[in-house]
Each structure stands twice: as structure tokens, then as C-alpha cells.
Structure 1
Amino acid sequence: MMPIVQNIGPISAFKSYLSIHTGTLKWSPLQQVAAFTQGHIMNNTFLHRLLATDNGSGALALRIPVGIIFAAHGAQKLFGWFGGYGLEGTGQFFGSLGLNPGFLMALLAGAAEFFGGLALVLGVAVRPAAAALGFAMLVAIFAVHIGNGFFVDKGGYEYALTLFAASLSLLFSGGGRFSVDRALTGER
């Protein structure tokens, strides 16, 4: 059991940690940093909760296609790929909706979708990525689609709601068994 140590500097805490857990301070600096990181950062309650995931493999079936969809939509906004308008065109569109400054909003939405989508595909920081993507979909629903009704063929919010639900599911479950998050937390 590790003793409670209060009001000491990080160096003293580090040496105390090493002496308790290794029985020696004769480790190389790299080994000392690795031991400290494994013991203190990955066991940090906040970080562990952030990356924690369930043991199922069902999240993989959701992460991959939803991540690809988000990354593709983000690439449309950021780079103009796949028939998109890029930052300039998307920024003008966002500005016309009252999402000002349009360029900044397009950059934020595009970055959330592109990098959040990549994070889902890779299984890295799935919960924070899903939270950002879910928020982006709520903005899309209420700022763009809500006035057009439900169905997507009329410009409605059906598709954005589906992506919001998928993001919410991943926010609750985490990346699942086959994710980098699971490997980082050391869960079995």
C-alpha cells in the first residue's frame, strides 16, 4: 500500500514512488519516467475514466463506419475533398446561417469531424471524440436542419440525429475491446 504523501514537490514524490514500488533508485532516467508514467498517469482517475471502455467488440462495428463518415464530412469542410466546398465555401454557408464568424465555425466543425472521425477509426480518445462529434451534430440539427422537418430528402435532421445517436452510444461505451484506449488503460 502506498503511503499518503502531502505537500512535497514532484521530485520528492517521484523518488518516494520509486523507492516504494521498485525498492531501488538505480534505474535509468528513462525507466524512472516510464515507471512514474505507468503508476501515476495511467492510474489517474480522470484519465482512466476518460479512456475507459467496455470489454465488448460491438463498438468496433460502430466506430469504423461512423468514423469514416465523420472524417469524410470533415474533409469536405476543411479541404474541399469529396465534392466539398472547403473552409472558404463552408465558412460562407455557416455565416449565412448566423454561425459567425463563419470561417472559424467551419474550421471548428471540420476539425471536430475530421480528427474526431479519425480518432473513432483508430480507437484513440473515443469518449472525447464522441462528445465533440455529438455536440457538432446537435449544432447541425438545431442550426441547419430542424426547420426542414425530419426526413433527410427534404434537408431534415434525420441523418444528423442518427450520427448524434451513434456518437452518444460511443460516448457511453468507449472504444471497446479493439481500441487503443483499451491498450492504454491496461484493461483486460
Structure 2
Amino acid sequence: MESPIYYTRAEYIETDTGNKVSRRATIAGPQNIILGGKTIISSGAIIRGDLRRTGPGHAVVISLGRYCLIGEGPPYKTYRGNFNYYPMKIGDHVHIGANTIVEAATIGNHVEIGKNCVIGKFTIIKDCAKIADGTIIPPNTVVPALSLFAGSPGRFVEDLPESTQEMVEALTKQYYTRFQPMSSER
């Protein structure tokens, strides 16, 4: 087994369902964000559940499944302009790399999204897909199951093996197990 990834206990809030949320993450509108359990939200990640769609009473609901990893967020970036945010569903065993911006409608189960990616509005990423580092997926794209997309704009590169589900599940569970408080704090 790979070596542990240590974190400072004081930096993370751990919920009853095993979610670990960095105190340095920006969680806006937490009442509109649902975490499935054993999800890690890293330092600097930004999750916006507070942005309205069409008026009062239409807050965004962001749902993340179990064993998700939201990587570190973009440092010191602010986004200007008018954004329309819609509900987003993220399945189980999803790994989103550091500095990635996601505005997808749906991300399936067992999905890997690399670092420094932009996932456009209304994108649908099916189960067991992989988005390579640095990929920009245009709005309204459908990424098929078991496919690798890369480039700018993101395009189909190759089919992934049937074993992708098991490999991604093992990866996310292993990462969660390795993510431990520093030994001096136990």
C-alpha cells in the first residue's frame, strides 16, 4: 500500500458520515450541498450552492456521492460576469483534480477529471469516463461511458477498459484510507 497522505486535523472538519472538509475550502450555501459520505474537499476548493437560478426559491442543489475527492481550488482567482448555475449531480467515486472548474449538469460514477480542466455548462459525463489534465470540455458536451477525452477543446481519444470501474473505485477508496491526520495529533 502507498504511504499515507497526512493532514492537520485542525484544518479539516469531519462529519458523522466520514466527509472531510477543509476549513480553507469555500462552501457557499451549505444548506444546498449534499455530501454522500467519505468525500474529501481539499483546501482552496470552491463549491457554490448559493447561486440562484431564476429568482427566489431556486437555489442550486449540488449533490456529491460517496468517495469523491475535490482537489485544491484555483488560488486567488475571482470570476466576474453573470453566471447561471443549475443543479449538479456528481456520482460515487469521482476524483476532480486541482484547479479544475466544473459547471457540468451531471457527472456519473467512477469518473476521473484531471488537474487544470474546465468542464463547461450543461456537460454530461457518463460513468467510468476520464478527462485528461488540462482538458477544456465545451458546454453541452456529452462524454460517453468508458471514454477518454483530452485537449482543448476536449475530444474523444480512446475507449477505456471494462475494468475502469474497479480501478477508479480502488483508487478513490485507497486515497480516502491514506488521507490521515498527522500521527502527533491522534
Higher helix share: 1
Higher strand share: 2
TM-score over 0.5 for the alignment?
A: no
Task: Return the TM-score normalized by structure 1.
Answer: 0.25
